[in-house]
Chains A and B, each alone.
Chain A
Amino acid sequence: DSGVTQTPKHLITATGQRVTLRCSPRSGDLSVYWYQQSLDQGLQFLIQYYNGEERAKGNILERFSAQQFPDLHSELNLSSLELGDSALYFCASSVGNENTGELFFGEGSRLTVL
């Protein structure tokens, strides 16, 4: 158990819909990262937040947005969903911002868009 909690574990929805994925980092971790894992793209970095502020941005679509709240949990919002958005979405956390430590990953939220 990494200590990172993601909900929901599975989600099935239709094209055009909007979903929210939630992540609670490990106790004491200030950074939260979102990754998308799909068969064709592999593990792609989406976005990082550090103590409530956006820190780094990767290949995140404009239809996607995220935020980190004062209690440090984070939400990833996916809107106008397309079939190609079906993927496993991971949240990870780490203690600092540009530290040397490893990222601890949650179990992922598997999104299926029909």
Chain B
Amino acid sequence: AQKVTQAQTEISVVEKEDVTLDCVYETRDTTYYLFWYKQPPSGELVFLIRRNSFDEQNEISGRYSWNFQKSTSSFNFTITASQVVDSAVYFCALRGFYNQGGKLIFGQGTELSVKP
């Protein structure tokens, strides 16, 4: 079975603080893909990043960075110098490679509130 766990239900920070959103996944597949999506208050789901299981390099995109550690089955997301516009629900998701179709399995989401 595949599962994604985001243990942090809500996080509240003050603007300019750094914040890390945790994601732990379970899968028996040796090839799989991990994703992060952002859901702002307006409701749409916005793609942030995709990472395949063979690429453990960390990635940085502006204030966003992702730390993928296969040994601990974690794919954590860090926002540096957070801003009010970062306030949203963030979802981590997993896609298995074999016989899965293309569907994503989502975690329960972490609601991030950035206060001015």
Question: Do B44 and A33 touch across chains, with their CB atoms under 8 A apart?
Answer: no
Measured CB to CB, the closest approach of chain B to A21, in angstroms, equals 15
User: Which residues of A are found within 8 Å of B33, using beta-carbon distances?
Assistant: 100
Cβ contact of B91, chosen from A43, A92, A94, A104, cutoff 8 A: A43
Q: By CB atoms of chain A within 10 A, which of B37, B43, B44, B103 has the most?
A: B103
Specify which of A31, A42, A50, A104 is in contact with B108 (CB 8 Å cutoff): A42
- Beta-carbon contact of A102 and B35 below 8 Å: yes
Pick from B47, B52, B100: contact of A98, CB under 8 Å: B100
Interface residues on B, range: 20 to 34
Please encode chain B, from 14 to 50, with 1 for each CB lying within 8 Å of some chain A CB and 0 for all others: 0000000000000000000101010000111111001
A16 CB–B CB distance under 8 Å: no
Q: Is chain A's binding surface mostly helix, strand, loop or mixed?
A: strand
Q: In the bound complex, what is the Cα–Cα distance between A47 and B35 (angstroms)?
A: 19
Q: Is residue A101 within 8 Å, beta carbon to beta carbon, of the partner chain?
A: yes
Question: Which of A97, A100, A105 is the one whose CB lies under 8 Å from B101?
Answer: A97
A58–B44 alpha-carbon span in the complex (Å): 21
Q: Is the CB of A96 within 8 A of B102?
A: yes
Verify if B104 is at the interface (C-beta below 8 Å from A): yes
Q: Given the complex, which residues of A lie within 8 Å of B68, measured CB to CB? A: none
The answer to whether the Cβ of A24 comes within 8 Å of any Cβ in the partner chain is no
Contacts A43-B91, A102-B35 given; does A90 touch B45 at CB 8 Å: yes
Q: Which residues of B does A touch, CB under 8 Å?
A: 33, 35, 37, 42-47, 50, 52, 91, 97, 100-109
